[in-house]
Structure 1
């Protein structure tokens, strides 16, 4: 009886394996450099992104959230996700570079395999006068409480993206 049952057990184990669906285990962009296509401004939406080989994390900051700051002070601004700003995680079919985001017409390859938008959290921006250039403001962008939920309802909990990066804007004349 055991000799007959064992092959059925092995066959059942093979059938129960993953069908190849993409499973996102970790989102880690802390060591990846922040990039953008056009210099960030204080009066428009800003698209900032990080690329980690075949993955990207895209931050669309609401218009005006990068404020002009106050000389000698640290100004902290908060933007809610997804209400005011949006964070999107994408997985591509192959490695991607900034040309994908900065081209007027995105290239056909690589293709987007999976895309997940953040459902909760906030973007916190601390603004100071740039210590290396008094004609610029330095904006340090951090993420707090970011929550991604996949299409099948799975919450991505292993997220290493607390500090998103720094950008500068010009001090107005």
Structure 2
């Protein structure tokens, strides 16, 4: 009798365990993206960051519905995942998947999504570095508030603006407003042999102010921009004495033509972004994947554009 009851209890225990432990199919995920390059596409209102691992037929993607111009300035941005405008998806597929699955206006019908884990809670941290370049031969850091004159410890908040035209020097191809490009007023002939035009800039009148910061390069009392006889906003082609060169570099020529405009020009913006997901919870039915911190990666050239600028003339 005791043996009978013992066998009965064993059978009941197995039945209870089978019922309690059956939570559905066991889903095995690789979640292997460490060696995969992060990619991006989209625009304000529909930013997409994604990784595809076709070796394991899986992807992870982040969609941000913010209308912020996230690529135009250097700053850290945090967006809460809410399941509607901001969300993460970890997916597995029946076959290889391409970028069009994330960046096309119409999602392709194939391959089939086998598993879809949605991340509707947590945060997306974007570390954005936007670098402007006027291609004038001077490094960005040398055209900022190097001396921290405003005392805030941020060189970008008070950058140099030598000519007061409203454009900081780092996006102004003509720093002193003389209508001669800064790049042409540096050590263009590499006279000191160090291959750095910034370390030995020209100083035509030897007044201790390099030409690229000197509105009167030859020291003749006439502003360089006004030594432009044909008034075409280019003093370099006004030459009275070819043996000396342009009039703005010849102190013996003092013909003044009042010019009240600066040359328009372009600058480029290149932005990198690093994406990290924090306190991420991915769910698919009763299944959960939890990541306290998930580093998605860095895109060095997430955004690149060229902008045309029209400097505001100031007659100081």
TM-score, scaled relative to structure 2 = 0.41
Give, in angstroms, the shift of residue 98 of structure 1. Answer: 2.4
CA RMSD of aligned residues (A): 3.6
**How many equivalent pairs are there?**
157
Query: Gaps (5+ residues) in structure 1?
Result: none
Residues 86 and 131 (structure 1 numbering): CA distance in 2 closer, same or farther, change over 3 Å?
A: same
| Unpaired stretches in structure 2, ≥5 consecutive residues | 136-267, 308-316
How many angstroms apart in 1 are the aligned matches of 2:69 and 2:119? 18
Q: Is the 8 A contact 1:117 1:149 kept in 2?
A: yes
Q: Does 1:80 align with 2:84?
A: no
- Residue of structure 2 equivalent to 1:165: 298
Structure 1 match to 2:25: 21
C-alpha contact (below 8 Å) 1:34/1:165 kept by paired residues: yes
Q: Report deviation, 1:150.
A: 2.4
The reply to whether residue 129 of structure 1 matches residue 130 of structure 2 is yes
Provide TM-score, normalisation by structure 1.
Answer: 0.68
- The Cα of 1:102 is off from its aligned counterpart by 4.5
Report the alpha carbon displacement of residue 106 of structure 1 after superposing the two structures with TM: 0.6
Q: Which has the larger radius of gyration?
A: 2
Q: CA deviation at 1:160?
A: 7.5
Of the two structures, which has the highest relative contact order with CA contacts closer than 8 Å and spacing of 6 or more? 1
Q: CA deviation at 1:76?
A: 0.7
Specify whether residues 160 and 111 from structure 1 end up closer, same or farther in structure 2 by C-alpha distance, changes over 3 A only: farther
d(CA) in 1 for partners of 2:88, 2:61: 6
Relative to structure 1, the CA distance from residue 99 to residue 149 in structure 2 (aligned partners, 3 Å threshold; closer, same or farther) is closer
Identify which range, 118-127 or 19-28, moves more after superposition.
19-28
Residues 26-53 of structure 1, C-alpha deviation per residue, up to 9 Å, x if partnerless?
Answer: 52323211234x4x44x33112221113
Alpha-carbon spacing, 1:137–1:102, altered in 2? closer, same or farther (3 Å): closer
- Equivalent position SS for 1:27: coil
Mapping 1:80-159, distance limit 5 Å: 80-82=80-82, 84-102=85-103, 104=106, 106-108=108-110, 110-130=111-131, 135-152=269-286, 154-157=287-290
- The structure that is strand-richer by fraction is 1
Shift of 1:144: 1.4
Query: Which 10-residue stretch deviates more, 80-89 or 98-107?
Result: 98-107
Separation of aligned partners in 1, 2:293 and 2:81: 17
Deviations 1:90-133 (A, max 9, x none): 1112232324444545143x211111110311111112134999
